[in-house]
Chains A and B, each alone.
Chain A
Amino acid sequence: GAGVSQSPSNKVTEKGKDVELRCDPISGHTALYWYRQSLGQGLEFLIYFQGNSAPDKSGLPSDRFSAERTGGSVSTLTIQRTQQEDSAVYLCASSQTGGAGNTIYFGEGSWLTVV
């Protein structure tokens, strides 16, 4: 498809397990973002990748969270030892280039429930 693709769309996991969420950005987009939205909250920035530059990890809430982007395209967000407060929808987005003034386009999200 032409949009941002995320998988899985839904994931239920037991507390303490690790999860991986995948994002396929729009073809040709060099910037990739991860956000999350907890119940009743706004969109919280997690991490940003731009080309070959070092990622901006300033939004990652703890060292249990990590992300990588291979080959400048697909990205994986990993949450280790999941906790119930990690339950949220994790949204990936991409933009043609990074920086201010660029519209970012979101995927449909990966809904994570930690039980």
Chain B
Amino acid sequence: DQQVKQNSPSLSVQEGRISILNCDYTNSMFDYFLWYKKYPAEGPTFLISISSIKDKNEDGRFTVFLNKSAKHLSLHIVPSQPGDSAVYFCAASAVGAQKLVFGQGTRLTINP
């Protein structure tokens, strides 16, 4: 039962353009969403989060959008830079729950 799904295993974007990573979820009890970034041989690092009371959160080049009715969130990176090449995981937690549920990840490659 995959409650958090990232349907694109990989994405390739040209440097300077916008990268859009998508994530869908099935559990309507999820109320907090996060994006993590992972480089090879390193642990995931926190990138940005959003609470279900918002539909957008922005931090520099990174913006997360939440569409609760569609149970969909996306991460926008603009402009994309070579250092953004990594695997991106979306994660969600439910009201009263302690654990984060992660998607399968999307490998983003930024081409010069």
Contacts and interface: CB of A to CB of B under 8 A. Distances in A.
Contacts of B43: 4, 91, 93, 106-109
A104 B100 contact: yes
A72 interface: no
B93 A45 contact: no
Interface string A12-44: 000000000000000000010101000001111
Contacts of A101: 32, 51, 93
A50 interface: yes
Contacts of B94: 100
Interface residues of A, number: 26
Interface in B44-98: 44-46, 49, 51, 89, 91, 93-98
Contact of A48 (B6, B36, B98): B98
Interface of B: 4, 6, 31-32, 34, 36, 41-46, 49, 51, 89, 91, 93-105
18 contacts: A4-B43, A42-B4, A42-B6, A43-B105, A45-B99, A48-B98, A50-B98, A56-B98, A56-B99, A59-B99, A99-B96, A100-B94, A100-B97, A101-B51, A101-B93, A103-B46, A106-B36, A108-B42
